[in-house]
Structure 1
Amino acid sequence: MDSKICPLSTLALMLSLGVSGSATALTLQGTADLGIALQTDDGSVQKSELVLTPRWDLDLPHSARATLIARARMDGVDKLSPGQPNQRTRSHWNRRGYLGDNGDMEVREAYIDAAIDDTYIRLGKQQVVWGQADGLRVLDVLNPIDYREFILPEVDDRRIPLWMLNVEAPLAAGMLQLILIPDQTYDELPPTDGAFAFSSPLLVPGAPANVPVTLLDHDRPDRPVRDADAGVRWKGFVDGWDLSLNYLYHYQDQAVFYLTQQQSGVVVAPTYERSHLLGATLSNAFGDFALRSELGYSTDRYWVADPGRITSAVADSPELAYVVGLDYSGLSNTFLSMQVFQSHLTQSTDAIIRDRTTTQVTALARRNLWNEALALEAFVVHSLNEADGLLQLEARYQFSSTLSGRVGADLFYGDSSGVFGQFRTANRVHIGLTYAF
């Protein structure tokens, strides 16, 4: 399917449905956001970006509704994703259109909501959220991630919406959700010359020094039916606890970079591998405290290994991951939260670069002042294994119902070999304005 035709045809279909069915309302809203970020090491501009995000909602007959969300970005310095990256990890019908080297535009979401008796259907390009963790992902893996700015933006902006069928129906005092995803789009990594290009040996396989390296195209699945992801979730309220049970059969969104040594040098072949994900969430409130937990077991995961011990530089092991969070709201206009996240390899080998068990902790503090016109927030994630992490600080002021401003800082620390420490030269302060229309 032509990537330039699909979004336009979707919009045309939505509008034609509304006209032929005498829609009751067409509404337009959205945001215009201007953000500037300066690197702390030399004061250079890392980002100077204007982002327009319009949203159209169209009421259709029989209580149906069509939604279209677009996004256009222009960055004056073009350091985050220089030039026009090839988008090899995206399906042909889920790609951005480039506005020269400094901008792009895309249909972010385009879906129709409908109900048949007690069954709710959302069909089209969308985000679906599983899990409850802040900043860390265990079950929230239905949508891939755009790592253009690593994990700094809001998670809704990091997720890549996918074309899918999302159906929910009542079952056993809860809701059963069925997901079918024929869109073979996966995590999007920044190019090697991007400000947040990956370099940590925990994420990037090593190759022998002074040996030519050839990177092949991603071997991306491209059969919409046979290569589709499928998932099911039951969510309900049991004895005072919010509970969900999850299952997903999917391709891992992170490509596996297999190395092959040939006479001409090292060949790197990015490949996608299937996995089964079994998981659950459990949460409850106890006065001013709320407890959240999330558990996921993946049958097939692939990890960067020592090429001196495993020639492909890849080793596989199932993964058991979980996060436990505790929230506190007992102080006036203040919210506090802490999380512990662990990932354990159940069949680890010594050749894998990462530790068999890794632990990260997070802390979040948010306070509202001046009748909630001013919001102050601090968030930190720290890796106990690598002694590195990220501190995010932000102050946001609401000038009016439509205009807000912000200032903040994104500060990485730790050794450059760590997942977070690799970006310490990209530390930045930022300022921005958001206008809602």
Structure 2
Amino acid sequence: MVAAACTGALAADPDWGLKATGLAGAPLADGEGRSARVAVEPSLKWKLPSVDLKGSVRLRWLEQEREQRSDTDVRELTATWRGARTTFALGAQQVNWGRMDILRVSDIVNPVDQHDLFYEELPQAKLALWMANWEWQEGGQSLQVIATPQVPVDRLPARVAGVPVNVARPANSLAHSTLALRYGFEAAGWNADLVAIRGWQSTPLLRPALGATGVSLQGSLARQNSIGFSADKPLGGTVLRLEGLYARATPEDPGLGLTTERSASLGAGLDLRTGPWFFATQVIAQQNFDAIAGTPERTAVVSAIVQRKWLQDRLSGRALHIRESAFGSSWSSLQASYELSAHQLVQLQSDWFRGESTAPFGGFRGRSRVAASMRVQF
């Protein structure tokens, strides 16, 4: 038996999976055009004696705001070595840090896909990066170190408000690497993480520019060094969550007239579960210490979620509202989902974005819609 284990003969067979999603939607309020999505995601998990192999690829076709696109993304492709106290994962993967919902505070290592943002859960909207990921854990303490030579850049629509978008992307290299560290610990009933990141602002700053082909939005990235924390603590039937981040962003191309900006974010959230009901609210305050003309120095984002489940948790309903104070823009969402079986889920969802086109949520007014989707997963 020992000899068989050493040769890998007792390793489990590969575990194959498949997830397919189809969505169709119609515009609501200021929505522009129909919405559609078809996504197929095959996956593989294979446990060997000392190594875990995981792979997942998503093939997707998307139509939104009168724009169609198709893409193929490696969602995960890793080899993970596990020891008694440490793990080391190498390959394309996501880092999920922080404790705030919907909006990210310290969870900023991976970029996001803004083509379908707000209609997918954050882990689905994130784009994987090729990285080395080492983690140590003992008792209530953990230490995680991440390094990637890949520059994280959000995937933006080809056009914003009808204007083409062009983003200057620094080359992937060791000089442009992202290094991140997280130290986790427990104290006085709190589960807490301290993080330090030398990386990038993955969302490009867009500025109008006049060229030979007309007006376009030119995007540029900034190097960002940041330190932060996140923590949660159960309080009876509730959970209190705290998170904060201080960041210093330096433009990669100072020739555009941009300067270094310092900012701080502080968030607090409270979750309450009682029977089939779930309530969550959070407030995130943001301060820009070097705001340029036309941008707010201070803003706050307030959100509330109410969710209920019926029929042994097979039927679920959720209402969400989120609003930011600087421009008064908001996002309201109603969602109902039903599990037809352990492998099939149908969902209805309406989303309404309000605000000026230059506001954080107002810029998504064209995505206001009512949509129905179905997911099949094996």
* CA displacement, residues 371-416 of structure 1 (integer Å, 9 cap, x when unaligned): 1111001111111221210011100011111111111101112333
Moved more, 167-176 or 386-395: 167-176
Deviation at 1:115, TM superposition (A): 1.3
Task: Kindly report the root-mean-square deviation, in angstroms, between the aligned alpha carbons of the 2 structures.
Answer: 2.9
Q: Secondary structure at the match of 1:318?
A: strand
Cα 1:261/1:339, change in 2 over 3 Å: same
**More moved, 267-276 vs 416-425:** 267-276
Cα distance in 1 between the residues matched to 2:28 and 2:154: 28
Describe the superposition over 1:265-301 as per-residue Cα deviations: whole angstroms up to 9, x where unpaired: 9886533221211001121011011100100000126
Amino acid at match of 1:413: R
The residue that corresponds to 2:189 in the other structure is: 240
Q: Is the 8 A contact 2:281 2:302 kept in 1?
A: yes
C-alpha distance in structure 2 between counterparts of 1:68 and 1:124, whole Å: 10
Please, which of 278, 281, 289 is the counterpart of residue 335 of structure 1?
278
Partner of 1:229: 178
Please, which runs of 5 or more residues in structure 1 have no aligned partner?
A: 1-19, 84-101, 200-212, 303-310
Residue of structure 1 equivalent to 2:16: 28
Contact 1:144 1:186 in 2 (8 A): yes
Question: Which moves more between the two structures, 33-42 or 287-296?
Answer: 33-42
Question: Does 1:70 find its partner at 2:57?
Answer: yes
Q: Report which of the two has the higher share of strand.
A: 2
Distance 1:280 1:247 in 2: 9
Query: Does 2:229 match 1:280?
Result: yes
Q: How many residues align?
A: 369
Amino acid at match of 1:252: Q
> Would you say the 8 A contact 1:259–1:313 is kept in 2?
no
Residue 104 (structure 1) shift: 3.0
Point out where structure 2 has 5 or more consecutive residues left out of the alignment: 1-6
Which amino acid letter does the alignment assign opposite residue 295 of structure 1? G
Q: Identify if the C-alpha distance between structure 1 residues 372 and 172 changes in structure 2 by more than 3 Å, giving closer, same or farther.
A: closer
Cα deviation 1:73-117 (Å, max 9, x = unaligned): 234xx345845xxxxxxxxxxxxxxxxxx5332322101121133
- The equivalent of 2:4 in structure 1 is none
Offset of residue 243 of structure 1: 1.0
State the alpha-carbon separation in 1 of the partners of residues 172 and 33 from structure 2: 42
The answer to whether 1:46 aligns with 2:34 is: yes
CA offsets, 1:339-388, max 9 Å, x none? Answer: 00111012335x2x221101110001110012111100111111122121
CA–CA separation in structure 1 for the residues paired with 2:306 and 2:242: 19
Q: What is the SS of the residue equivalent to 1:30?
A: strand
CA contact (8 A) 2:74 2:128 kept: no
Residue aligning to 1:87: none
Distance in 2 (CA, whole Å) between partners of 1:272 and 1:220 is 7
Q: Does 1:410 align with 2:368?
A: no
TM (norm. structure 1) is 0.77
User: Equivalences for 1:13-412 in 2 at 5 Å?
Assistant: 21-22=8-9, 23-41=11-29, 46-62=34-50, 64-75=51-62, 78-79=63-64, 82=67, 103-170=70-137, 173-192=140-159, 197=160, 218-257=167-206, 270-300=219-249, 312=256, 314-329=258-273, 331-349=274-292, 351=293, 353-412=294-353
Secondary structure, aligned partner of 2:249: coil
